[in-house]
Chains A and B, each alone.
Chain A
Amino acid sequence: MKIAIPVENKTLDSSVNPSFGRAPYFLIYDVNTKESTFIENTAATSTGGAGIKAAQIIVDNKVNAVLSLQLGENAAAVLKDANIKIYKTTDVSIKGNIEAFINERLSFLDEIHAGFHGRRR
Protein backbone atom coordinates (compact mmCIF):
# COMPACT_ATOMS: atom_id res chain seq x y z
CA MET A 1 0.00 0.00 0.00
CA LYS A 2 1.66 3.22 -1.20
CA ILE A 3 0.45 6.72 -0.43
CA ALA A 4 1.55 10.07 -1.89
CA ILE A 5 1.55 13.47 -0.15
CA PRO A 6 2.46 16.83 -1.69
CA VAL A 7 5.21 18.23 0.54
CA GLU A 8 7.34 21.34 1.02
CA ASN A 9 10.68 19.61 1.35
CA LYS A 10 12.45 16.26 1.12
CA THR A 11 12.15 15.29 4.78
CA LEU A 12 9.44 13.75 6.95
CA ASP A 13 9.75 16.74 9.32
CA SER A 14 8.79 19.13 6.54
CA SER A 15 5.11 20.01 6.04
CA VAL A 16 2.26 19.21 3.69
CA ASN A 17 2.12 21.60 0.73
CA PRO A 18 -1.33 23.22 0.39
CA SER A 19 -1.26 22.79 -3.40
CA PHE A 20 -1.21 19.46 -5.20
CA GLY A 21 -0.15 20.32 -8.75
CA ARG A 22 2.30 23.04 -7.72
CA ALA A 23 3.88 21.30 -4.72
CA PRO A 24 7.68 21.15 -5.08
CA TYR A 25 7.96 17.48 -3.97
CA PHE A 26 5.88 14.40 -3.37
CA LEU A 27 6.49 11.95 -0.55
CA ILE A 28 5.79 8.38 -1.65
CA TYR A 29 5.31 6.37 1.54
CA ASP A 30 4.93 2.61 1.68
CA VAL A 31 2.63 1.84 4.59
CA ASN A 32 3.75 -1.81 4.77
CA THR A 33 7.53 -1.36 4.63
CA LYS A 34 7.52 2.18 6.19
CA GLU A 35 9.86 3.19 3.40
CA SER A 36 9.70 6.82 2.29
CA THR A 37 10.86 8.18 -1.06
CA PHE A 38 10.83 11.84 -2.07
CA ILE A 39 10.36 12.69 -5.71
CA GLU A 40 10.57 16.05 -7.39
CA ASN A 41 7.30 17.34 -8.84
CA THR A 42 8.42 18.29 -12.34
CA ALA A 43 4.88 19.54 -13.04
CA ALA A 44 5.24 22.41 -10.54
CA THR A 45 6.77 24.79 -13.09
CA SER A 46 4.31 24.05 -15.91
CA THR A 47 2.63 27.10 -17.42
CA GLY A 48 -0.64 25.20 -17.43
CA GLY A 49 -2.14 21.83 -16.64
CA ALA A 50 0.18 21.29 -13.65
CA GLY A 51 -2.47 19.21 -11.89
CA ILE A 52 -2.75 16.78 -14.81
CA LYS A 53 1.00 16.29 -15.08
CA ALA A 54 1.43 15.96 -11.31
CA ALA A 55 -1.33 13.35 -11.22
CA GLN A 56 0.40 11.51 -14.07
CA ILE A 57 3.58 11.37 -11.95
CA ILE A 58 1.56 9.92 -9.06
CA VAL A 59 -0.07 7.34 -11.37
CA ASP A 60 3.33 6.32 -12.77
CA ASN A 61 4.63 5.72 -9.24
CA LYS A 62 1.89 3.12 -8.72
CA VAL A 63 0.44 4.85 -5.70
CA ASN A 64 -2.81 3.59 -4.13
CA ALA A 65 -3.90 6.76 -2.33
CA VAL A 66 -3.20 10.49 -2.33
CA LEU A 67 -3.39 12.62 0.82
CA SER A 68 -3.91 16.29 -0.07
CA LEU A 69 -5.51 19.41 1.34
CA GLN A 70 -7.18 20.19 -1.96
CA LEU A 71 -7.27 19.02 -5.55
CA GLY A 72 -8.32 20.46 -8.89
CA GLU A 73 -10.89 18.78 -11.12
CA ASN A 74 -8.41 17.72 -13.82
CA ALA A 75 -5.97 16.16 -11.35
CA ALA A 76 -8.90 14.40 -9.68
CA ALA A 77 -10.07 13.04 -13.05
CA VAL A 78 -6.65 11.48 -13.70
CA LEU A 79 -6.42 9.94 -10.23
CA LYS A 80 -9.97 8.58 -10.39
CA ASP A 81 -9.31 6.96 -13.78
CA ALA A 82 -6.33 5.25 -12.17
CA ASN A 83 -8.48 4.10 -9.23
CA ILE A 84 -6.39 6.09 -6.77
CA LYS A 85 -8.24 7.08 -3.60
CA ILE A 86 -8.06 10.73 -2.52
CA TYR A 87 -8.04 11.64 1.18
CA LYS A 88 -8.09 15.07 2.81
CA THR A 89 -5.16 16.04 5.03
CA THR A 90 -6.13 17.41 8.42
CA ASP A 91 -3.06 19.48 9.35
CA VAL A 92 0.40 20.37 8.03
CA SER A 93 2.28 17.55 9.77
CA ILE A 94 3.40 14.83 7.36
CA LYS A 95 3.87 12.22 10.12
CA GLY A 96 0.55 13.16 11.69
CA ASN A 97 -1.31 12.62 8.42
CA ILE A 98 0.42 9.29 7.77
CA GLU A 99 -0.58 8.14 11.23
CA ALA A 100 -4.14 9.37 10.76
CA PHE A 101 -4.31 7.54 7.45
CA ILE A 102 -3.06 4.27 8.97
CA ASN A 103 -5.59 4.59 11.81
CA GLU A 104 -8.34 5.24 9.24
CA ARG A 105 -9.05 8.68 10.65
CA LEU A 106 -8.82 10.55 7.33
CA SER A 107 -11.93 11.18 5.28
CA PHE A 108 -12.24 11.23 1.50
CA LEU A 109 -11.66 14.57 -0.18
CA ASP A 110 -15.02 15.30 -1.72
CA GLU A 111 -14.68 18.99 -2.51
CA ILE A 112 -12.94 19.14 -5.85
CA HIS A 113 -12.25 22.72 -6.93
CA ALA A 114 -12.74 23.87 -10.50
CA GLY A 115 -9.06 24.67 -10.97
CA PHE A 116 -7.45 28.06 -11.10
CA HIS A 117 -7.77 28.68 -14.80
CA GLY A 118 -9.39 32.10 -14.41
CA ARG A 119 -12.78 30.54 -14.85
CA ARG A 120 -15.78 31.65 -12.88
CA ARG A 121 -18.19 28.95 -11.96
Chain B
Amino acid sequence: MTLDLSGVGLTHANGQVALRDIDLKIAPGERVAIIGPSGAGKTSLLRLLATALQPAGGRLEVLGADPWRLSAAARQKLRARIGLIHQTPPLPPRQRVVTTVLAGRLGQWSLGKGLLNLLHPLDSAGAAAALARLDLTEKLFEHCDQLSGGQLQRVGIARVLYQAPELILADEPVSAMDPVLAGHTLGVLNEEAARRGIALLASLHAVDLALAHFPRILGVREGRLVFDRPAQALTQAELDALYANEQLQSRPASPPATTPHVLHIPRC
Protein backbone atom coordinates (compact mmCIF):
# COMPACT_ATOMS: atom_id res chain seq x y z
CA MET B 1 0.00 0.00 0.00
CA THR B 2 1.30 3.44 -0.86
CA LEU B 3 -1.08 5.05 1.62
CA ASP B 4 -2.90 3.38 4.48
CA LEU B 5 -4.95 5.49 6.89
CA SER B 6 -7.41 4.36 9.50
CA GLY B 7 -9.28 6.67 11.82
CA VAL B 8 -6.87 9.54 11.16
CA GLY B 9 -7.80 12.93 12.57
CA LEU B 10 -6.05 16.28 12.34
CA THR B 11 -6.31 19.29 14.62
CA HIS B 12 -4.66 22.57 13.70
CA ALA B 13 -2.46 24.46 16.15
CA ASN B 14 -5.34 26.86 16.88
CA GLY B 15 -7.51 23.96 18.05
CA GLN B 16 -9.63 23.84 14.91
CA VAL B 17 -10.44 20.29 13.83
CA ALA B 18 -9.49 19.96 10.15
CA LEU B 19 -9.97 16.24 9.51
CA ARG B 20 -11.73 13.47 11.39
CA ASP B 21 -11.93 9.71 11.02
CA ILE B 22 -10.28 9.33 7.64
CA ASP B 23 -10.05 5.72 6.42
CA LEU B 24 -8.23 5.41 3.14
CA LYS B 25 -6.14 2.87 1.26
CA ILE B 26 -4.34 3.73 -1.96
CA ALA B 27 -2.29 1.18 -3.86
CA PRO B 28 0.75 1.93 -6.04
CA GLY B 29 -0.29 3.03 -9.52
CA GLU B 30 -3.69 4.33 -8.43
CA ARG B 31 -4.75 7.77 -9.62
CA VAL B 32 -7.14 9.54 -7.31
CA ALA B 33 -8.78 12.98 -7.33
CA ILE B 34 -9.97 14.75 -4.20
CA ILE B 35 -12.94 17.06 -4.65
CA GLY B 36 -15.00 19.08 -2.23
CA PRO B 37 -16.06 22.63 -1.37
CA SER B 38 -13.40 25.11 -0.31
CA GLY B 39 -12.37 24.80 3.30
CA ALA B 40 -13.39 21.13 3.34
CA GLY B 41 -9.89 19.95 4.27
CA LYS B 42 -8.46 18.94 0.89
CA THR B 43 -5.20 20.81 1.41
CA SER B 44 -4.94 19.61 5.02
CA LEU B 45 -5.38 16.01 3.87
CA LEU B 46 -2.64 16.36 1.26
CA ARG B 47 -0.27 18.07 3.67
CA LEU B 48 -0.97 15.33 6.21
CA LEU B 49 -0.11 12.67 3.62
CA ALA B 50 3.05 14.61 2.69
CA THR B 51 4.08 14.41 6.39
CA ALA B 52 3.99 18.21 6.55
CA LEU B 53 1.34 17.96 9.30
CA GLN B 54 1.19 15.55 12.18
CA PRO B 55 -2.10 13.67 12.74
CA ALA B 56 -3.84 14.06 16.09
CA GLY B 57 -4.91 10.43 16.17
CA GLY B 58 -5.39 7.26 14.17
CA ARG B 59 -2.95 5.16 12.18
CA LEU B 60 -1.08 6.62 9.22
CA GLU B 61 1.24 4.72 6.92
CA VAL B 62 2.99 6.37 3.97
CA LEU B 63 5.08 4.24 1.61
CA GLY B 64 5.05 1.44 4.17
CA ALA B 65 6.21 3.45 7.18
CA ASP B 66 4.59 5.46 9.94
CA PRO B 67 6.39 8.80 9.48
CA TRP B 68 5.82 9.89 13.08
CA ARG B 69 7.50 6.82 14.55
CA LEU B 70 10.64 7.44 12.50
CA SER B 71 13.64 9.44 13.64
CA ALA B 72 13.94 12.95 12.17
CA ALA B 73 16.67 11.77 9.78
CA ALA B 74 14.65 8.76 8.58
CA ARG B 75 11.60 11.00 8.14
CA GLN B 76 13.64 13.31 5.91
CA LYS B 77 14.61 10.24 3.83
CA LEU B 78 10.93 9.30 3.58
CA ARG B 79 10.00 12.87 2.60
CA ALA B 80 12.51 12.73 -0.25
CA ARG B 81 10.36 9.92 -1.73
CA ILE B 82 7.16 11.99 -1.60
CA GLY B 83 6.52 14.74 -4.14
CA LEU B 84 4.15 17.50 -3.03
CA ILE B 85 2.96 20.00 -5.65
CA HIS B 86 1.88 23.25 -4.01
CA GLN B 87 -0.99 25.36 -5.28
CA THR B 88 1.20 28.48 -5.18
CA PRO B 89 4.69 27.04 -5.51
CA PRO B 90 6.88 28.75 -2.91
CA LEU B 91 9.84 29.68 -5.10
CA PRO B 92 12.38 32.43 -4.41
CA PRO B 93 11.80 35.24 -6.96
CA ARG B 94 15.47 35.68 -7.77
CA GLN B 95 16.17 32.00 -8.34
CA ARG B 96 16.62 30.71 -11.87
CA VAL B 97 14.11 28.17 -13.12
CA VAL B 98 16.86 25.60 -13.75
CA THR B 99 18.02 25.80 -10.11
CA THR B 100 14.45 25.65 -8.85
CA VAL B 101 13.70 22.48 -10.83
CA LEU B 102 16.97 20.78 -9.90
CA ALA B 103 16.26 21.54 -6.21
CA GLY B 104 13.69 18.73 -6.44
CA ARG B 105 16.43 16.20 -5.88
CA LEU B 106 18.12 17.94 -2.93
CA GLY B 107 16.72 15.22 -0.67
CA GLN B 108 18.47 12.55 -2.71
CA TRP B 109 21.71 14.40 -3.40
CA SER B 110 24.56 14.79 -0.99
CA LEU B 111 25.04 18.24 0.48
CA GLY B 112 28.22 18.68 -1.56
CA LYS B 113 26.37 17.97 -4.78
CA GLY B 114 23.68 20.45 -3.76
CA LEU B 115 26.34 23.10 -3.14
CA LEU B 116 28.07 22.43 -6.43
CA ASN B 117 24.75 22.58 -8.26
CA LEU B 118 24.22 26.07 -6.91
CA LEU B 119 27.45 27.24 -8.57
CA HIS B 120 26.78 25.48 -11.83
CA PRO B 121 23.66 23.48 -12.78
CA LEU B 122 24.80 19.84 -12.79
CA ASP B 123 21.90 18.41 -14.77
CA SER B 124 20.41 21.14 -16.93
CA ALA B 125 19.43 18.43 -19.44
CA GLY B 126 17.28 16.75 -16.79
CA ALA B 127 15.65 20.04 -15.83
CA ALA B 128 15.06 20.88 -19.48
CA ALA B 129 13.45 17.47 -20.05
CA ALA B 130 11.07 17.96 -17.12
CA LEU B 131 10.16 21.45 -18.34
CA ALA B 132 9.73 20.25 -21.92
CA ARG B 133 6.90 17.94 -20.87
CA LEU B 134 5.05 21.02 -19.63
CA ASP B 135 5.98 23.12 -22.67
CA LEU B 136 8.24 25.46 -20.70
CA THR B 137 11.71 24.69 -22.09
CA GLU B 138 12.39 28.24 -23.18
CA LYS B 139 12.14 29.48 -19.56
CA LEU B 140 15.03 27.30 -18.36
CA PHE B 141 17.44 30.12 -17.55
CA GLU B 142 14.94 32.82 -16.59
CA HIS B 143 14.29 34.06 -13.09
CA CYS B 144 11.17 32.92 -11.27
CA ASP B 145 9.85 36.47 -10.93
CA GLN B 146 9.58 36.75 -14.71
CA LEU B 147 6.95 34.00 -14.88
CA SER B 148 3.17 34.18 -14.68
CA GLY B 149 1.14 32.32 -12.05
CA GLY B 150 0.35 29.45 -14.40
CA GLN B 151 3.98 29.18 -15.52
CA LEU B 152 5.08 29.09 -11.87
CA GLN B 153 2.67 26.26 -11.18
CA ARG B 154 4.21 24.35 -14.05
CA VAL B 155 7.72 25.02 -12.71
CA GLY B 156 6.55 23.58 -9.38
CA ILE B 157 5.23 20.50 -11.19
CA ALA B 158 8.46 20.16 -13.19
CA ARG B 159 10.39 20.17 -9.90
CA VAL B 160 8.33 17.23 -8.64
CA LEU B 161 8.66 15.40 -11.98
CA TYR B 162 12.42 15.84 -11.70
CA GLN B 163 12.33 14.65 -8.08
CA ALA B 164 10.92 11.33 -9.42
CA PRO B 165 9.12 10.50 -6.15
CA GLU B 166 7.28 7.27 -5.30
CA LEU B 167 4.08 9.17 -4.54
CA ILE B 168 2.83 12.40 -6.11
CA LEU B 169 0.51 14.62 -4.07
CA ALA B 170 -0.86 17.64 -5.92
CA ASP B 171 -2.75 20.47 -4.24
CA GLU B 172 -4.85 22.25 -6.89
CA PRO B 173 -2.00 21.80 -9.40
CA VAL B 174 -3.77 23.54 -12.31
CA SER B 175 -5.74 26.30 -10.54
CA ALA B 176 -3.94 29.14 -12.36
CA MET B 177 -4.01 27.57 -15.85
CA ASP B 178 -6.45 27.90 -18.72
CA PRO B 179 -8.64 24.84 -19.42
CA VAL B 180 -6.53 23.50 -22.31
CA LEU B 181 -3.28 23.78 -20.38
CA ALA B 182 -4.95 22.37 -17.26
CA GLY B 183 -6.06 19.30 -19.21
CA HIS B 184 -2.62 18.83 -20.74
CA THR B 185 -0.86 19.19 -17.37
CA LEU B 186 -3.14 16.70 -15.64
CA GLY B 187 -2.47 14.38 -18.57
CA VAL B 188 1.28 14.70 -17.99
CA LEU B 189 0.89 13.91 -14.28
CA ASN B 190 -1.32 10.89 -15.00
CA GLU B 191 1.05 9.63 -17.65
CA GLU B 192 3.99 9.96 -15.24
CA ALA B 193 2.12 8.05 -12.52
CA ALA B 194 1.04 5.31 -14.95
CA ARG B 195 4.48 4.96 -16.54
CA ARG B 196 6.29 4.63 -13.22
CA GLY B 197 3.52 2.72 -11.47
CA ILE B 198 3.26 5.23 -8.62
CA ALA B 199 0.20 6.64 -6.87
CA LEU B 200 -1.07 10.10 -7.79
CA LEU B 201 -3.40 12.07 -5.53
CA ALA B 202 -4.64 15.47 -6.68
CA SER B 203 -7.13 17.87 -5.19
CA LEU B 204 -9.16 19.75 -7.79
CA HIS B 205 -11.92 22.29 -7.59
CA ALA B 206 -13.07 21.61 -11.17
CA VAL B 207 -15.24 18.50 -10.96
CA ASP B 208 -15.24 17.95 -14.73
CA LEU B 209 -11.42 17.81 -14.78
CA ALA B 210 -11.46 15.31 -11.91
CA LEU B 211 -14.01 13.08 -13.66
CA ALA B 212 -12.19 13.28 -16.99
CA HIS B 213 -8.69 12.45 -15.74
CA PHE B 214 -9.01 10.28 -12.63
CA PRO B 215 -10.52 6.79 -12.29
CA ARG B 216 -11.15 7.15 -8.55
CA ILE B 217 -12.73 10.14 -6.80
CA LEU B 218 -12.71 11.07 -3.12
CA GLY B 219 -15.29 13.55 -1.84
CA VAL B 220 -14.27 15.58 1.21
CA ARG B 221 -16.64 17.79 3.16
CA GLU B 222 -16.18 19.36 6.59
CA GLY B 223 -13.09 17.29 7.30
CA ARG B 224 -14.73 13.93 6.54
CA LEU B 225 -14.46 11.53 3.65
CA VAL B 226 -17.99 11.61 2.22
CA PHE B 227 -17.50 9.18 -0.64
CA ASP B 228 -14.77 7.12 -2.29
CA ARG B 229 -15.94 5.82 -5.67
CA PRO B 230 -14.87 4.97 -9.18
CA ALA B 231 -15.50 8.02 -11.37
CA GLN B 232 -18.14 6.22 -13.49
CA ALA B 233 -20.17 5.20 -10.45
CA LEU B 234 -20.48 8.74 -9.17
CA THR B 235 -24.03 10.10 -9.32
CA GLN B 236 -25.18 13.66 -9.79
CA ALA B 237 -27.02 13.53 -6.47
CA GLU B 238 -23.79 12.72 -4.64
CA LEU B 239 -22.03 15.66 -6.29
CA ASP B 240 -24.89 17.99 -5.41
CA ALA B 241 -24.81 16.81 -1.81
CA LEU B 242 -21.04 17.32 -1.66
CA TYR B 243 -21.24 20.92 -2.76
CA ALA B 244 -24.59 21.79 -1.15
CA ASN B 245 -24.36 25.09 0.65
CA GLU B 246 -27.08 26.28 2.98
CA GLN B 247 -25.79 29.84 3.02
CA LEU B 248 -25.59 30.37 -0.73
CA GLN B 249 -28.39 30.04 -3.26
CA SER B 250 -29.04 26.56 -4.58
CA ARG B 251 -26.49 25.50 -7.18
CA PRO B 252 -27.44 24.77 -10.76
CA ALA B 253 -28.17 21.11 -11.44
CA SER B 254 -25.14 20.66 -13.69
CA PRO B 255 -21.70 20.00 -12.19
CA PRO B 256 -19.94 23.21 -11.17
CA ALA B 257 -19.44 25.56 -14.06
CA THR B 258 -16.32 25.03 -16.11
CA THR B 259 -15.44 28.67 -16.52
CA PRO B 260 -11.70 29.06 -16.07
CA HIS B 261 -11.21 29.85 -12.46
CA VAL B 262 -9.02 32.93 -12.21
CA LEU B 263 -7.03 32.69 -9.08
CA HIS B 264 -4.70 35.37 -7.85
CA ILE B 265 -1.29 33.79 -7.48
CA PRO B 266 1.30 36.12 -6.06
CA ARG B 267 4.47 36.07 -8.10
CA CYS B 268 6.83 33.79 -6.34
Q: Do A and B bind each other?
A: no
Q: Which B residues contact A (CB, under 8 angstroms)? A: none
